Amino acid sequence: MLKKFFLPDEHVKSVFHIKPEKLKEKGIKAIITDLDNTLVEWDRPDATPELMEWFRDMREHGILVTIVSNNNQKRVEDFASPVDVPFIYEAKKPMTKAFKKAIEDMKVRNEQIVVIGDQIFTDVLGANRLGLHTILVVPVASTDGFVTKFNRKMERLLLAWMKKRGMIHWEE
């Protein structure tokens, strides 16, 4: 049960390790991604030049990207609009409504999507509840808000427990 809901399908250091060619080989046509500490630091207002290039690379390979964030409209819109990436704010992850809306908006099937995020209890859990392919990334920043700090402590305990039982095969 824990493995089904909390274990990501993949783990990478950053979104920059996710290449469009590899996604296309797997039949992936769309990405749902978290924003804060997944794409950029939670307190960085704009996309970095490297991230703008990553978005451009995905677009050139025909891979759709939608940002699904628990953050407020202003934060998400201010970030996403300049890079021309569709977004959903106040997503209430791990609830599945925002994931379903992104899937519907992108007009793709569940098996054609990957979900990228930095938190197990929001991104991975929400996506796994729908049977979507999940990629956990190392958080971009080492600082977090109060609630996220608590979640990270709980995540570390859960990951240690899963690793001890042989469920995890990546290095942290």
Q: Where are the domains of the chain?
A: 2-164
Q: How far apart are alpha carbons 92 and 6 in whole angstroms?
A: 17
pLDDT in tens, 149-167: 777 777 787 777 777 877 7
Q: Which residue has the higher pLDDT, 139 or 159?
A: 139
Are the C-beta atoms of 10 and 136 separated by less than 8 Å? yes
Q: How many CA atoms lie within 13 A of 139 on its CB side?
A: 19
Mean pLDDT, to the nearest integer, of 46-62? 97
Region at 137 (left for phi over 0; alpha for psi -120 to 50; beta for the rest): beta
- Which CATH code is given to the segment(s) 2-164? 3.40.50.1000
The reported pLDDT for the residue numbered 155 is 78
Distances (CA, A) of 116 to 1, 137, 164: 21, 7, 24
